[in-house]
Structure formats: C-alpha cells, structure tokens
Structure 1
Amino acid sequence: MSAMRFFVNSILACFALAASMATGSLLQAAEPAPQPEAASLTTPEQRLDALFLDLKKERDENKARELADRIRLEWQESGSATVNLLMQSADKAIADDKKPVALDILDQVIVLAPSYVEGWNRRATVHYQMGNYRKSMSDIYRVLAIEPRHFGAIAGMATMLETAGKNELAMRAWQQFLDIYPSDRKAQEQFGELAERLAGSRT
C-alpha cells in the first residue's frame, strides 16, 4: 500500500470511528438528565460530558476558550504520578528541541497508560513536528478511539489533510471540529476558506 493511500485510508477510518462513537453517545443520551455544574461532578467522564455540552452551546468566543482549556486540563490528568512526571519530562524535551528524546518518553507513557488520551495526542504532535505524518495519523486514530471529541487531534488531522491536498476531507474534519467546538474562530475561518476554494474549483 502506498504511503498516500495509507494516509487517506487512516483518515477515513478516523472519520468512521468518530462517527460511530458519536452515534453511540447520542443513543445513550436519548433520555437527557438535568446537567449539574461541571465542577460539582465527581468522575472525569461526568465532568467532560458536562463541559462538552457547555462548549457546544457556548457562542461567546472567550467563554468557549475557557471551557476548552478546562477540557484540556481534564485530558492532561492521567491519574498516575509516574505518568504525569513523564509527561512533564516529555514537554521539557519538546521545549528543548529534543524531539527524539520526547518520543522515547512518550513511548513509555503509552506503555504504562495505553488508555491515556494525551499520551497518544502528544506523540501525534511530535511526529507531526518531525514530518512523520503517517505515524502522526496513526496516533490520531488512537486518540479518537479513546476520545472522539478530541478537537485538538481533529484539528491536527485537518491540517495534515490540507497539506496533502485532500481539501474535501480537510473540510469534513473542520466540520467535525465545529460540531464539537462551534465558536472556535480559527476553525470557522479554515472551514470557510476550504469551502470557498472547493466552490471555486468546481466552477
């Protein structure tokens, strides 16, 4: 299989996975219950569900950004002091431009905590920064398998698709992003630019 075909197939698999998980979430939410404040909820899953519900409804850009930051904080907490320490070491290696070292550390994180979404997401980011798009996309697939609402991973996927000239798929990715985080200005602009570009290419 060629690298480009693998790349596109991985993207399609990401879309299918996220769509199927989103459908499952909608079915589970068929009988909505009153939503308490996120801060009063006890489990990470409950807090995230409440925060994502608020993020989808929030139209004020600044308030939405605060909600997105709270979601990122929830994702960063691994529940393991060892994993948290390794993530700090990986971040330092990235800041010091020692990306191979960061990858080694993140490999350890993933072995220790394979269901920890930020381990996969951070490694996807480092692979992208190093130009390893195939490996980055593979890690994004794992991110979305754990958390299909991960807007950061979806944005990375959209960026790689556009770089590869797959504008229609990139637009679909930004639409998926906006379904989760509708008030993000950059995503709105990227989606609009791609829509205009595609419309112009069809005339």
Structure 2
Amino acid sequence: MNEFSLNSLLEDLKNPDEKVRYEATAELWRIWFYQKGVAGFEILQRSQALLEAGEIAKAEGLLREIIAAQPDFAEAWNRRAVLYYILRDYKKALNDCQMAVELIPFHFGALHGMGLCYLALEEYSAAIVAFRKALEIQPYALENQRLILECTAKLS
C-alpha cells in the first residue's frame, strides 16, 4: 500500500460520515492482519482459535514463534497483547502494545490497548495520554472518550 492510500485511510477515520469511518477502520485492520501475507494472517487466525478454545499456552507459543521469526509484524505483537490482557498480565500486554505502536505509530487498536492496560494498573494519567493519542487518530471513538472521562474522574 502506498503512502497516499494510507494517509487517505487515516483521514477517512476523521470523516463525519460513519460509513466512511467504518470502511477505513476495516481496511486498516485488514492491512495490519495481512502485513505478512496470507501465511501471517493464518497464524493470527490459528492463535485466535486456540485462545477461544482455552488453549492459552499454545496460542501464546504460536504468537511467540511468529514474533521471533518476524519481529516487525505489528499485529502479532498486538494479538499477543490481547492474550496477555485477557490473562490480566497487564505489564506484558502493555509492553506488546508499545511494540505494536513503535512499529505502527497510528495503530489505534494498540493505543487503545495501552490505555486499557494503564487503566487496569491504575495509572490513570498514562491511560488518559494513551486514549487521547488513540482519539487523535480516531476522533469519533466514543469508547476512548468515555474512558478518558472515567480516568479523569478517578484522578479527582
């Protein structure tokens, strides 16, 4: 994908038209999941199926392997962050979210995940920063707006 197309998708996330935002969001997720082609996508799918089947160790192992083999696969880091978040290992989840954002600075899913991790760790100021960064990319994301208010209330 060329830079113009990517910038166009990022601009579409700020469009007042909900349908335009939805399509841009879906396309960005598709790009991230297919960053390493069909083979990478299939590994992410398998790890998700294992996670849903309760085979956490196998799901984590699969993600660990793909990250070791392709450390620039941002969505693999993000998927492992989700796994760690589900396990309530918020520090590991946060580290993986940070890696995903390092690789793709506009990864609104990983930024949102960082906010959730900070919230779970009761680091409300850091959570607000992460949710605000996600909102800069997706200004209509009501969940991030709501979570900023929640964190702000906890700081008062």
| Structure 1 length-normalised TM | 0.70
* Distance in 2 between residues matched to 1:193 and 1:106, nearest whole Å: 32
Query: Which of the residues 3, 7, 10 maps onto 1:52?
Result: 10
Aligned pairs for 1:156-195 (under 5 A) are 156-195=113-152
Query: Secondary structure of the residue that 2:127 maps to in structure 1?
Result: helix
CA contact (8 A) 1:60 1:183 kept: no
Counterpart of 1:87?
A: 44
TM-score calculated relative to the size of structure 2:
0.89
CA contact (8 A) 1:120 1:139 kept: yes
* C-alpha deviation, 1:105, in angstroms: 0.6
User: Cα deviation per residue 1:2-33 (whole Å; 9 max; x = unaligned)?
Assistant: xxxxxxxxxxxxxxxxxxxxxxxxxxxxxxxx
The equivalent residue for 1:151 is 108
User: Counterpart amino acid of 2:50?
Assistant: A
User: Whole-Å Cα distance in 2 between the matches of residues 100 and 139 of structure 1?
Assistant: 17
- SS where residue 75 of structure 1 aligns? helix
Q: Quick one: higher RCO (CA 8 Å, sep 6+), 1 or 2?
A: 1
Task: Give me the whole-angstrom Cα distance separating, in 2, the residues matched to 1:53 and 1:130.
Answer: 34
**Runs of 4 or more off by more than 6 Å in structure 1?**
none
- Which whole-Å CA distance do the structure 1 matches of 2:144 and 2:112 have between them? 8
**1:102 aligned to 46, 52, 59, which one?**
59
Letter in 1 for 2:61: D
Structure 1 counterpart of 2:59, one-letter code: A
Helix, strand or coil at the partner of 1:178: helix
User: Aligned AA for 1:64?
Assistant: R
Q: Is the 8 A contact 1:83 1:112 kept in 2?
A: no
Alpha-carbon contact 2:111-2:134 (below 8 Å) kept: yes
> Cα RMSD (Å) of the superposition?
1.8
Q: Which residue pairs with 1:16 in the alignment?
A: none
Unaligned runs of 5+ in 2: none
Percent of aligned pairs sharing the same letter: 26
Pairing 1:111–2:68 present:
yes
Q: Which residue of 1 aligns with 2:25?
A: 68
SS of equivalent to 2:13: helix
CA contact (8 A) 1:59 1:182 kept: no
Shift of 1:86: 1.7
User: In 2, distance between residues paired with 1:133 and 1:195?
Assistant: 20
SS of the counterpart of 1:115? Answer: coil
Task: Specify every segment of 5 or more residues in structure 1 that has no aligned partner in the other structure, as ranges.
Answer: 1-42
Mapping of residues 118-129 of structure 1, within 5 Å? 118-129=75-86
**Partner Cα separation in structure 1 for residue 89 and residue 8 of structure 2:** 35
- Aligned mates of 1:49, 1:63 — CA distance in 2: 14
User: How far has the Cα of 1:85 moved from its partner?
Assistant: 2.4
